[in-house]
């Protein structure tokens, strides 16, 4: 079974907060971005590699490749799994990736979305997806950085 320390939803994927605070906090040595677009975008990968801490490996896989290969991860790989959307996380879970906790860090405001707290904006599809994840027994938390308190997760469902 892969050693997934944390799964995070952050539409920025790898950036300063992820690279420094979260990676150090959880003790990850591998940042795995599961995202269909980024898996094909070498320039964006290069930019994210620059943000990754020294000594921490990065991988950029499509959702399907993540499903197909994550079971082959070595125990020594302490994986920080980063996704752009809750829908990507649900696809991974439905594909058999053993995710038990999801940190919701940043979901940008866009047309049709509403802010539930700070930098987390959702639409109806996001809310339904979070309900499906919760119903599968996955712990959800809203927290931008490890030093902050968790937000009340009910805020996702009460808007």
Q: What is the pLDDT of residues 53-72, one digit of tens each?
A: 999 999 999 999 999 999 99
Active site residue 15: yes
Q: How many residues does the chain have?
A: 159
Residue 95, pLDDT above cutoff 80:
yes
Average pLDDT, the chain: 94
Residue 33 has pLDDT above 70, yes or no: yes
pLDDT of residue 14: 93
Domains recognised in the chain with CATH numbers: 4-156 (3.40.35.10)
Q: How much is the pLDDT for 18?
A: 73
What is the structure's pLDDT at 159? 57
Looking at residue 25, what is its pLDDT?
94
Per residue in 103-153, pLDDT (tens digit) is: 999 999 999 999 999 899 999 999 999 999 999 999 999 999 999 999 988
| Nearest C-alpha neighbor of 34 from the set 152, 25, 2 | 2
Among 12, 15, 131, 134, which one carries the catalytic annotation? Answer: 15
Residue found by looking up tokens 């696809």 in the block: 91
pTM here? Answer: 0.95
Alpha-carbon distance of 30 to 146, in angstroms, equals: 18
């Amino acid at each position: 079974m892969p050693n997934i320390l944390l799964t995070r939803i952050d539409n920025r994927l790898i950036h300063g907060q992820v690279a420094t605070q979260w990676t150090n906090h959880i003790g990850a040595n591998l940042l795995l971005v599961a995202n269909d677009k980024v898996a094909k975008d070498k320039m964006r990968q290069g930019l994210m590699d620059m943000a990754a801490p020294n000594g921490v490996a990065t991988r950029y896989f499509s959702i399907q490749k993540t499903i197909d290969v994550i079971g082959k991860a070595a125990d020594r790989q302490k994986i920080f799994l980063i996704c752009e959307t809750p829908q990507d996380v649900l696809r991974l879970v439905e594909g058999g990736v053993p995710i038990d906790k999801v940190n919701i860090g940043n979901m940008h405001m866009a047309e049709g979305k509403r802010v539930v707290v700070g930098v987390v904006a959702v639409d109806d599809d996001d809310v339904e997806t979070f309900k499906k994840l919760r119903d599968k027994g996955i712990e959800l938390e809203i927290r931008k950085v490890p030093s902050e308190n968790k937000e009340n997760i009910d805020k996702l469902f009460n808007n």
